[in-house]
Amino acid sequence: MCGFTGYIGKLENREEVLVNMMNTIIHRGPDSEGKYIDEDAALGFRRLSIIDLSSVGDQPLYNEDRSMVLVFNGEIYNYQELREELIEAGHTFTSNTDSETLLHGFEEWEERLLERLRGMYAFAIWDIKKRKLFAARDIFGIKPLYYAQMNGTLLFGSEIKSFMEHPKFDKVFNETALGNYLSFQFVPTNETFFKGVFCLQPGHYFIYENGVMSITRYFEPHFTGNCKKPFSEVVNDVEAVMKDSIKMHKISDVEVASYLSSGVDSSYLTYLGQVDHTFTVGFDEGRYSEIQDAKEFAASIHMKNDAKVITPDEYWDNLSDIQYYMDEPVADPAAIALFFLSQEAAKKVKVVLSGEGSDELFGGYNIYCEPMEHTGFNKIPMPIRRILGKFAEYCLPRGMKGRGFLMRHGKTLEERYFANATNIFTEREANKILKNGCVPGIRKITRPLYDRVKDKDPVTKMQYVDLHLWLVHDILMKGDKMGMANSLEVRVPFLDKKVLELAETLPLNYKVRAPKTKVALRGAAEKVIRSKTAEKKKLGFPIPTRVWLKEDKYYKRVKKMFTSDAAEQFFNTKLLVKMLDNHKNGKNRNEKTDNSRKIWTVYIFLVWYDRFFGHGKPVHPSQSGTGFF
């Protein structure tokens, strides 16, 4: 696990610029560094040693005749079998690293190498003779890869902040991304909040040659649901593929531990992985802590559990630093908790297993039950349901029981479902609160995804949308950035090519039987862990932001940001303050109001904007001392 950065283009003081770029991502690889520089290209690398701890595994890495050079972030879990195949084909290896397997594999198969890989990866290969750059990202988007073409230069790397050290980089805020961010709580496209900076999408590669970039999609998931096996046999298949995936994900020359919540995903991984250490965080807020359940489960399978209670002050006081590590705002309160979880784990280990991806592959979100519930109501003709939905939206008071139900069922699935935790602000609300009203349109984002699965059942459609939006731009982004902020490698065994191949075949009733989710996965888990955990309803990562925002201390902190110059630049601040006051007072038009998700989404954006645009160049937390400027 590492980080890389680089550029293609002419420049004076090439090495000094590259070193400055590398220093911004030192948290991704504190163990060693390396660089390659010629008259056109500069590639920099920071290493976190996991496999082949000797210096032989350092990067940039060359092929036999030094005609190609590689920088790579991630892990290739089937590298040993690929290595044997490449040796038989005549390639000479100088290390036992998965990195070298990528390099020789590209020599042998070029872009067809990607079809053979099983792992998480973002990598770039500079062909020194052909003066051509090849870069690729894994099929799920576990590892990040950004790029920008500016002023005759291509910038590329693991984190955007490294680009800011290059004199050809123009740091310009991309205001067009703000509208969709307010609805999605993340930027849901390949655009970023930095104008001209893009993320390479999962399952894509690009080739850059003679100043021209071409991008190709090499992988797309296909949910067939064509499995005809009896349920008991499928449960055994799930168990077998998960055991195999975890075995592959435990390949390491250092100890592998596990995150542990009270849910089925991390509990099942922990049991199958037979790790020595597990790590949990929570809050001293009653139902906002899973620590007790996690400790009980760990004890039941005779494993150690290290738990940390996050205090409200340390949660709030670290927000600016955390936004620095994120590169872009993600208004998921769990991202901050994940920072502290990875910080605790990093005190003892370099690698952890985590349960991301199980919900998208196996049908785990509670909202996936909705299409199979209230089927009687759904028989009402859509025109009538639309009228009822509009009446509920404009005439019924917020918080009134049944209002949300009528609004959701007054729309088709394609109109109402944008991703698992979306629609923070409706388009109408976002246009009202933004001074410039620049909301590009949510359905412009989702329509191409729904078009590709228009013949599938509703749950599969929701899974497909979540795989491309929620998983990539929220779940995996925060997982990578928060782990690497603490020099910790986070491995996700559910997001494995072989696991996906099985999940793609599951019929609907093996995924969701309302009100039960992840039916086949829970069946496999219940064979080996207690039913209390295997059958526990999806909870998510509970964060008490709703409670905190009612307290004077945090209310005042948010209000100060809501009335700042930056807020005045983008938002109708009177509406922001009104929204905050209504939440604190608990009433709005005589009914209960919970505006916490909306408040948090705006506040996190403003904290991020202050860090990256309010004070010139952002400072690494180790240099700032306080986390603020």
In tens, the pLDDT along 357-376 reads: 999 999 999 999 998 888 78
- In the chain, what percentage of residues exceed pLDDT 70? 94
User: pLDDT band at residue 32, thresholds of 50, 70 and 90?
Assistant: confident
Q: What is the DSSP string of 552-587?
A: HHHHHHHHHHHTSHHHHHHB-HHHHHHHHHHHHHT-
**Does residue 626 register a pLDDT over 60?**
no
3-state secondary structure of 66: coil
- The one-letter amino acid code at 594 reads D
Alpha-helical (H) ranges within 301-402 are 312-317, 319-326, 334-346, 358-362, 382-395
User: How far, in Å, CA of 75 to CA of 263, rounded?
Assistant: 26
User: How far, in Å, CA of 380 to CA of 382, rounded?
Assistant: 6
Residue 414 corresponds to which tokens in the numbers above? 């394609």
User: How far, in Å, CA of 365 to CA of 402, rounded?
Assistant: 21
Q: Helices 264-273 and 519-526 meet at what angle, rounded to 10?
A: 40
Q: What is the mean pLDDT of residues 543-561?
A: 95
Q: Which residue has the higher pLDDT, 618 or 204?
A: 204
Sign of the Cα torsion 337, 338, 341, 342 reads: negative
Give backbone dihedrals phi and psi of 8, rounded to 5 degrees, phi first.
-120, 120
| Residues forming beta bridges with residue 257, ordered by sequence position | 352
pLDDT on residue 627: 39
Burial of 619 from C-beta contacts in 10 A (0-12 / 13-18 / 19+): middle
pLDDT on residue 382: 92
Query: Picking from 49-53, 524-528, 530-534, which range would have the lowest pLDDT averaged per residue?
Result: 49-53
User: How far, in Å, CA of 199 to CA of 144, rounded?
Assistant: 7
3-state secondary structure of 199: strand
**Does residue 601 register a pLDDT over 90?**
yes
pLDDT on residue 375: 78
Give backbone dihedrals phi and psi of 316, rounded to 5 degrees, phi first.
-70, -40
User: How far, in Å, CA of 201 to CA of 190, rounded?
Assistant: 6
Q: Which residue has the higher pLDDT, 481 or 442?
A: 481
**Does residue 270 register a pLDDT over 60?**
yes
- In the chain, what percentage of residues exceed pLDDT 90? 77
- The one-letter amino acid code at 282 reads G
The answer to whether the CB of 8 falls within 8 A of the CB of 209 is: no
Q: What is the mean pLDDT of residues 36-49?
A: 91
User: pLDDT band at residue 613, thresholds of 50, 70 and 90?
Assistant: very high
Buried b (16+ CB within 10 A) or exposed e, 524-557: bbbeebbeebbebebeebbbbbbebbeeeebbeb
Query: Picking from 446-455, 515-524, 541-550, which range would have the lowest pLDDT averaged per residue?
Result: 541-550
Instruction: Output the CA angle 46-50-51, nearest 5 degrees.
Output: 110
User: pLDDT band at residue 624, thresholds of 50, 70 and 90?
Assistant: low
Neighbours of 71 (CB within 10 A): 29
Cβ neighbours of residue 303 under 8 Å, at least 6 residues apart? 270, 275, 276, 277, 278
DSSP assignment, residue 473? I
Mind listing the domains of the chain with CATH numbers? 2-217 (3.60.20.10), 231-306+335-363+469-534 (3.40.50.620)
User: How far, in Å, CA of 103 to CA of 87, rounded?
Assistant: 13
pLDDT on residue 629: 27
User: How far, in Å, CA of 377 to CA of 409, rounded?
Assistant: 8
Q: What is the mean pLDDT of the chain?
A: 92
**Does residue 52 register a pLDDT over 60?**
no
pLDDT tens track for 138-157: 999 999 999 999 999 999 99
Structure pTM?
A: 0.94
pLDDT on residue 51: 54
Q: Are strands 153-157 and 2-8 parallel, antiparallel or unpaired?
A: antiparallel
pLDDT tens track for 448-462: 999 999 999 999 999
Owner of token pair 């290390």: 95
The answer to whether the CB of 310 falls within 8 A of the CB of 337 is: yes
Q: Helices 573-585 and 596-613 meet at what angle, rounded to 10?
A: 130
Give backbone dihedrals phi and psi of 61, rounded to 5 degrees, phi first.
-120, 140
Q: Are strands 489-491 and 351-353 parallel, antiparallel or unpaired?
A: parallel
pLDDT on residue 540: 67
Q: Which residue has the higher pLDDT, 137 or 537?
A: 137
User: How far, in Å, CA of 479 to CA of 481, rounded?
Assistant: 6
Owner of token pair 């909705």: 370
Q: What is the mean pLDDT of residues 418-422?
A: 75
**Does residue 286 register a pLDDT over 70?**
no
- The one-letter amino acid code at 391 reads F
Sign of the Cα torsion 378, 379, 383, 388 reads: negative
User: How far, in Å, CA of 430 to CA of 412, rounded?
Assistant: 21
Give backbone dihedrals phi and psi of 204, rounded to 5 degrees, phi first.
-125, 155
pLDDT on residue 403: 87
Burial of 178 from C-beta contacts in 10 A (0-12 / 13-18 / 19+): buried
pLDDT on residue 275: 93
Whole-Å CA distances, 538 to 116, 266, 358, 391, 522? 34, 12, 11, 32, 11
Is the backbone of residue 327 left (phi > 0), alpha (psi -120 to 50) or beta? left
Q: What is the mean pLDDT of residues 412-425?
A: 83
Q: Which residue has the higher pLDDT, 4 or 402?
A: 4
**Does residue 14 register a pLDDT over 50?**
yes
pLDDT on residue 266: 94
User: How far, in Å, CA of 349 to CA of 279, rounded?
Assistant: 11
3-state secondary structure of 309: strand
Residue 310 corresponds to which tokens in the numbers above? 């996050």
User: How far, in Å, CA of 3 to CA of 110, rounded?
Assistant: 23
Q: Which residue has the higher pLDDT, 185 or 628?
A: 185
User: pLDDT band at residue 290, thresholds of 50, 70 and 90?
Assistant: confident
- The one-letter amino acid code at 119 reads G
pLDDT on residue 438: 67
**Does residue 11 register a pLDDT over 60?**
yes
Residues catalogued as catalytic: 2
User: pLDDT band at residue 323, thresholds of 50, 70 and 90?
Assistant: very high
Owner of token pair 């995996």: 476
DSSP assignment, residue 493? T
Residue 494 corresponds to which tokens in the numbers above? 């559910």
pLDDT tens track for 330-342: 999 999 999 999 9
Whole-Å CA distances, 582 to 269, 400, 579? 42, 16, 5
pLDDT on residue 441: 78
The answer to whether the CB of 543 falls within 8 A of the CB of 604 is: no
Query: Picking from 408-417, 443-452, 498-507, which range would have the lowest pLDDT averaged per residue?
Result: 408-417
